[in-house]
Each structure stands twice: as structure tokens, then as C-alpha cells.
């Protein structure tokens, strides 16, 4: 009987904390609007269908661990109609085709300290540029802001300041518009010698890469988190390519999928889109880094890695066609 009296108070606490954070997040940017265009990833038992409908949102995917916890009125995850849906399992198992989302809501008390990073990483990978991630504590405890900021330091997420208007029990994060690099105010220009790599790009993955000499660019790349970036590049040197500026994706890091094979040294690998030549070596590469897609991830095998690389290339190509980035490539043509 004592437990039954406490349960309603817990639900009220959840509702108030979450409602306050949602109100702020929904009004934080014009690019995330109420109504049908919004799709929400819900990793919170406090985000009920009735609460969402009261705010004008219909399209939501709720992640539940127990099939019996499926909310009344929620559909299966299949289909494209805007409707409440349920995914039974862990948030990390939500397939990419369920996104992209305009907002994610994560209850830190539900996912736990160990589950917070995987949940935030998954959310960041499935968000639209400009989308928001609300993290809150359903038990009303003060949020460990420093801890959350440390968790997302290598993700494409920026933390909105305490002045955003939420209380101590919630935080709002945002995927930067056009996947701009968090906390970096302008594109980053590099020029480096192309050196021999491990041959994986061409031989194992079918995605040729030019490996930059890390020492040539370390002063500019060392502040950046390891991960996948995008921008423009141009091959320099007589007989090296056609001199055209091309879209590129770049990986900076230690290749965790291959770490047992190649050791912990850092590499900088650039894939030039729509370039069929492989005469990189001995030349130099001029690069401008515009945006950031994701941190380095250790994949289960080559197939999973290649699928993600293809996704990265598609996302980069789309962003580089945007008004924000399309003119930046002129900087590497000089």
C-alpha cells in the first residue's frame, strides 16, 4: 500500500520535469517546429502519448524494454504514417530507417550512467541537423552537467547554456545546423603531404583514401575529437589529379575497428568523392574541413563499417550542396 501511494508522486515529478524541458527545447529554434513535421525518439517512460498530443506532436517512436509496457494507442514500428509507435528493445538497436528524428528525449535515470553515452550517441546519429536532445532526471535530482558534457565531448552535439531556461534536473543538447563542428566558428584549412597508408580503403573497402602526414597538420587537428568530418579537397603537385576541387569525407583517429591489426597510431584519411584516380602518393592535398558527422566507432566487421561509410558519404554530399557550405570549396582552389 505504501508503494502504491508513492507511484503517483513519481509520475507527477516525471511529468513536470519533462514538460518544462520540452517546452524550452521546442521553442529553442525555428528549425524544430511543433506539429506533424516533427518526429521524436522517446527513451523516457514519462513522455506519454497524451502529453505529446497535447503539445501537437503525433509522430513518436517510444523505446521500451518490456513488450507489456507498450502504451495504449501505440502502433508497431512499421510504416511511414505519423503516429505513435513502439520499439521493443534497447535504444542502440533502433534501425536507421526509423529516423531521422527532430528531437530525442532521454531519461538518465532510466538508461543509467553506463547507458547514457550509448543512448546519446545513437540519438546524435539519428537526428536531423538543428534537432534537439533533451536529457532529464525523472527522479528530480540535479543533473550532472559536467558529466553529460564530458560524455558528448566527441559527438556532434553542442550543449545549450544554463540560460536556456530549464531547471537543474534537465539539459538540452543540439545537433548544429548543417553539422557544423561544435565550438568551432569557421572552416579549418589544411595542407599536407600524402603518405602511404595500409591499403584498406581501396583493397578491403573499395573506398580509396589519401593518407595525410599527421605531423604536417597536427597543430590544427589535435584540438579536434577523433571522428568523421567533411569538406572539400584538391590534389596538388604536377601530374597529381586534374586540379579540381572535390567534396571529401575525412577520418581522423586510430581506426578502432582495425586496432588489433595496426596499433594505436593516429591517421588522417581523406576520401575524394567522384575521383577514380589513385595517384595520391608523392603529392600534397589541400583540404578545408567544414563539418563533423560522428565520433569514431568500433564496428563488428567490415560490412557494418562499409555501410556506415556509405551513409557518411551520402550525408556529407548532401550537406556540401547546402548554401552554407557550397561556396567554401573556393578556398582550396587558390
Question: Which active-site residues does the annotation give?
Answer: 269
Strands 84-88 and 227-236 come out as: unpaired
**How far apart are the C-alpha atoms of 171 and 133, rounded to whole Å?**
8
> How remote is the C-alpha of 151 from its chain's centroid?
13
DSSP state of 205: S
**How far apart are the C-alpha atoms of 237 and 233, rounded to whole Å?**
13
Q: What is the DSSP code string of 68-114?
A: GGPPTT-B-S-SSSSSEEEEES-GGG--GGG--EEEEEEEHHHHHHH
Q: Are 269 and 209 in contact (CB under 8 A)?
A: yes
Q: Cell triple for residue 52?
A: 505529446
DSSP state of 167: -
**How far apart are the C-alpha atoms of 224 and 292, rounded to whole Å?**
10
**How far apart are the C-alpha atoms of 313 and 316, rounded to whole Å?**
5
Amino acid at each position: 500500500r505504501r508503494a502504491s501511494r508513492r507511484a503517483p508522486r513519481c509520475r507527477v515529478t516525471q511529468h513536470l520535469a519533462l514538460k518544462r524541458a520540452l517546452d524550452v527545447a521546442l521553442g529553442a529554434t525555428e528549425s524544430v517546429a511543433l506539429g506533424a513535421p516533427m518526429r521524436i525518439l522517446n527513451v523516457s517512460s514519462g513522455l506519454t502519448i497524451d502529453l505529446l498530443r497535447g503539445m501537437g506532436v503525433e509522430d513518436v517512436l517510444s523505446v521500451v524494454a518490456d513488450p507489456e509496457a507498450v502504451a495504449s494507442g501505440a502502433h508497431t514500428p512499421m510504416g511511414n504514417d505519423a503516429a505513435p509507435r513502439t520499439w521493443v528493445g534497447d535504444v542502440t538497436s533502433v534501425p536507421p530507417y526509423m529516423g531521422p528524428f527532430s528531437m530525442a528525449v532521454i531519461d538518465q535515470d532510466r538508461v543509467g550512467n553506463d547507458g547514457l553515452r550509448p543512448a546519446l550517441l545513437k540519438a546524435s546519429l539519428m537526428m536531423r541537423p538543428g534537432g534537439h536532445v533533451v536529457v532529464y532526471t525523472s527522479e528530480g535530482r540535479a543533473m550532472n552537467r559536467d558529466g553529460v558534457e564530458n560524455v558528448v565531448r566527441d559527438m556532434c552535439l553542442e550543449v545549450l547554456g544554463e540560460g536556456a531556461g530549464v531547471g537543474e534536473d534537465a539539459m538540452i543538447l543540439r545537433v548544429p545546423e548543417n553539422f557544423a563542428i561544435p565550438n568551432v566558428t569557421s572552416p579549418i584549412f589544411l595542407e599536407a603531404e600524402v603518405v602511404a597508408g595500409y591499403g584498406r580503403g581501396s583493397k578491403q573497402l573499395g573506398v580509396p583514401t589519401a593518407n595525410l602526414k599527421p605531423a604536417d597538420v597536427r597543430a590544427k587537428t589535435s584540438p579536434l575529437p577523433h571522428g568523421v568530418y567533411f569538406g572539400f579537397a584538391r590534389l596538388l603537385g604536377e601530374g597529381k589529379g586534374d586540379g579540381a576541387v572535390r567534396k571529401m569525407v575525412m577520418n581522423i583517429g586510430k581506426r578502432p575497428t582495425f586496432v588489433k591489426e595496426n596499433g594505436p597510431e593516429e591517421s588522417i584519411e581523406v576520401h575524394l568523392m567522384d575521383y577514380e584516380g589513385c595517384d595520391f602518393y608523392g603529392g600534397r592535398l589541400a583540404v578545408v574541413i567544414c563539418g563533423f558527422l560522428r565520433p569514431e566507432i568500433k564496428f563488428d566487421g567490415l560490412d557494418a563499417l562499409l555501410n556506415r561509410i556509405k551513409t557518411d558519404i551520402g550525408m556529407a554530399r548532401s550537406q556540401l550542396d547546402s548554401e552554407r557550405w557550397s561556396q567554401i570549396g573556393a578556398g582550396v582552389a587558390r
